[in-house]
A = this chain, B = another copy of it.
Amino acid sequence: MAPTDKQRDKRSRIIDAAVEVFAFKGFHAARVTDIAKAASVADGTIYNYFKSKEDLLLSIFEEKMDELREGLVVELAEIDEPLDKIRHFARHHFRQVREQSAVAEVLQVELRTSKKFIKDYKPEKLFAYLGIFNQLVAQGQAQGVIRADVDPFVTGWAFFGALEEIGLLWVLSANRERHFDLDGAADRIADLFIRGMAP
């Protein structure tokens, strides 16, 4: 017996299947039955692990945001300068978008489809992710490489908004035209913010 899908932890099999199905058909068009088939489980089994279809989507967000943040932390650990870290923040973000485009599609497109997510959900994982940027700003300010009057709240969300918009654009352009250069965009955005926050 090969250690196939059958043996893998059911919960993660369902998560993986859902990412693929959500990315391919979209959250609304995706049928719970499709996900169950893709995960080789019965429809009802999904409800042993997730409260609802929407909870499944939110769980994807939680897990993937955790992974994203953890990966970022690891990458930044090897960098010294706060400004350099900000540059790597952007690069790491876009690298993930590129390497896990199905996940990116779900996070950037499908998640926004979810009214619950947008309006009712407290995206703690997003705050945690963004918190890293805010810390970098604080460090930069402490070191005098970032102006003291830079507002971390506004600047942080602006930075995230910029990453999101460019990332979304890249994901959506996938089906229409050749992708533009994401890595170059990372540097340009990092540059823009670093100069913008400079003393």
Binding site for B on A (CB under 8 A): 26, 28-29, 109, 112-113, 115, 118-119, 150-151, 153-155, 157-166, 169, 172, 175, 180, 184-185, 188-189, 191-198
Contact = CB atoms under 8 A, between A and B. Distances in A.
5 contacts: A150-B192, A153-B180, A154-B166, A157-B162, A157-B169
Contacts of A192: 150, 155, 158, 193, 196-197
B28 A115 contact: yes
Given A161-B162, A161-B163, A166-B158, A188 B151 contact: yes
Copies in the complex: 4
B151 A161 contact: no
A174 B141 CA distance: 31
A109 B113 CA distance: 9
A98 to B, nearest CB: 16
Contacts of A175: 119
B119 A189 contact: no
Given A109-B118, A158-B166, 5 more contacts: A119-B175, A157-B165, A160-B165, A164-B165, A195-B198
Nearest to A167: B161
Nearest to A28: B115
A194 B29 CA distance: 43
B196 A155 contact: no
